[in-house]
Amino acid sequence: MPPPQPDVLADALIRVPRHEFVPARAWAVPQGAGTPPAAASGYWIDQHRDPDRWWRAVYSDSVIVTQLDGGRTELTPANAAAPSTAPSCAASSPLLVTAGLRHLAVRPGNRVLDVGGGTGWTSGLCAYLAGDDTLVTTVEIDPDLARTATENLARCGLRPTIVTGDAGAELPSSDGESDGLFDRVHVTCGVTDIPYVWVEHTRPGGHIVLPYNPPIGRLLRLTVHEDGSATGRFGEECSYMPLRSQRQTPPDKSATSHDTQPRHRSLAVGTESLLHPAPGLQVLLASLVGDEPWVNGSGNVLLTDGVSRATVANDGRLTQTGPRDLWDEAESVHRAWTRQGRPGLDRIGFTVTPQRQYVWIDDPSVPAAALTHDTPLGTSADTATTVGASLD
């Protein structure tokens, strides 16, 4: 048997210990399916009052929230638990950080850009992996967080370049190289539109790893090409707080549409085919429709973008309101996915060019949206009824 290979990432997690980046008082949110319901929304940790609880949280797979509402709301147990507040900085889930860094594959000597410095922890890990802290540049939009990250990193003996600014708008160049490009870009804020400036600042052959967020997030690993495009594939499901410039109020899923012309029909594709979609279908629904079917408290199946709404009642009758026929769109996506042989994540990817960005199946030059233009509903063999015929 070959001797076990040293795992440099495991070394990094030991040499850049997470506890140096977690404040004495914070809000821990356990991750993973095994979390007891009572703890799922989070709990307060205080290193001085209950050190055991604090250490257990720091070395568990928990997101540790360190700031609320961009610092405008004080981090207290009551505020952290309140549904009206939003976390704006956290030490991310160790399992997701590890997954992201494995995808990023930082090699010694790589120049790394860490977007969303936060506590500084991932910048420290990148510095260890690159073998030299001067190779790492961190961009953090919040000056207070940038200061704390600098202090936390200094306690570990690390001094990467920390720049305060909006990484979605403008980027610093990497230090010391004439072309100023980075070999790796590591992002820990959720992204809906990938700022092309990240591709521009990455050396051809280099990688960008980011949480692609709509509406079920997944890690996305892009490789930058000589022609200025970047292509890549999706990895683990994830949930990250969005890049500040792309923060949107989430759609009000309970809002009722004021559309006066509800459209009714029965289903062409049964709800069971669209509920709990396989990962490949899920990525397509998320990026092309913007929602995936879910069940509300009354047992109805819904799709909504906050304005348009599709509701499948318990008797199977579909009602669509608003400017978009969301269930029609979801059925088209399902048909395209089925026609293509139900591709999984190994066949689905993402392309970014200066002009556009899109999800694809098999061919990085063909947007998947082009594959969903199929036989109009009402004429295909598997379509049961007429679109737009009101049953009221």
Ligand X SMILES: C[S@@+](CC[C@H](N)C(=O)[O-])C[C@H]1O[C@@H](n2cnc3c(N)ncnc32)[C@H](O)[C@@H]1O
* Nearest-angstrom CA–CA distance, 282 and 288: 10
Shortest Å, Cβ 182 to ligand X: 15
Whichever of 10 and 278 has its CB closer to ligand X, that residue is 10
* Nearest-angstrom CA–CA distance, 40 and 29: 6
Shortest Å, Cβ 257 to ligand X: 32
Shortest Å, Cβ 139 to ligand X: 5
Segment near ligand X (CB under 6 A); pick from 90-98, 102-110, 302-310, 331-339: 90-98
Q: Which of residues 233-292 bind ligand X (CB under 6 A)?
A: 240-241, 243-245
- The verdict on 140 binding ligand X (CB under 6 A) reads yes
Segment near ligand X (CB under 6 A); pick from 74-82, 135-143, 176-184, 354-362: 135-143
Shortest Å, Cβ 135 to ligand X: 17
Other Cβ atoms within 10 Å of 140 Cβ, number: 27
- Residue type present at position 387: V
The structure tokens 């700031």 sit at 67
Length of the chain: 392
Question: What letter does residue 92 receive in the DSSP assignment?
Answer: P
- The verdict on 110 binding ligand X (CB under 6 A) reads no
- Residue type present at position 354: P
> In the structure, how many helices (H) and strands (E) does the chain have?
11, 18
Alpha-carbon radius of gyration of the chain: 23
* Nearest-angstrom CA–CA distance, 333 and 339: 10
Which of 166, 236, 259, 362 binds ligand X (CB under 6 A)? It is 166
Shortest Å, Cβ 141 to ligand X: 4
How many chain residues bind ligand X (CB under 6 A)?
A: 26
**DSSP letters for 5-65:** PP-HHHHHHHHS-GGGGS-SEEEEEE-STT--HHHHT-EEEETTT-HHHHHHHHTSSEEEE
Which of 30, 94, 100, 118 binds ligand X (CB under 6 A)? It is 118
- The verdict on 142 binding ligand X (CB under 6 A) reads yes
- The verdict on 116 binding ligand X (CB under 6 A) reads yes
Segment near ligand X (CB under 6 A); pick from 85-93, 175-183, 254-262, 347-355: 85-93
Calculate the alpha carbon distances from 52 to 36, 57, 152, 337 in Å: 19, 9, 21, 49
CB-based burial label for 298 (10 Å; 0-12, 13-18, 19+):
exposed
Segment near ligand X (CB under 6 A); pick from 45-53, 84-92, 279-287, 308-316: 84-92
Segment near ligand X (CB under 6 A); pick from 51-59, 71-79, 111-119, 220-228: 111-119
Site string for ligand X, 286-325 (x = CB under 6 A): ----------------------------------------
- Residue type present at position 279: P
Whichever of 203 and 244 has its CB closer to ligand X, that residue is 244
- The verdict on 61 binding ligand X (CB under 6 A) reads no
Segment near ligand X (CB under 6 A); pick from 165-173, 174-182, 258-266, 355-363: 165-173
* Nearest-angstrom CA–CA distance, 185 and 202: 7
* Nearest-angstrom CA–CA distance, 68 and 90: 9
Shortest Å, Cβ 216 to ligand X: 18
The structure tokens listed for 4 are 């076990």
257, 322 Cβ separation under 8 angstroms? yes
- The verdict on 90 binding ligand X (CB under 6 A) reads yes
- The verdict on 106 binding ligand X (CB under 6 A) reads no
Whichever of 243 and 281 has its CB closer to ligand X, that residue is 243
325, 261 Cβ separation under 8 angstroms? no
* Nearest-angstrom CA–CA distance, 77 and 79: 6
* Nearest-angstrom CA–CA distance, 7 and 143: 34
Shortest Å, Cβ 221 to ligand X: 17
Residues forming the site for ligand X (CB under 6 A): 88-92, 115-116, 118-119, 121-122, 139-142, 145, 166-168, 188-189, 240-241, 243-245
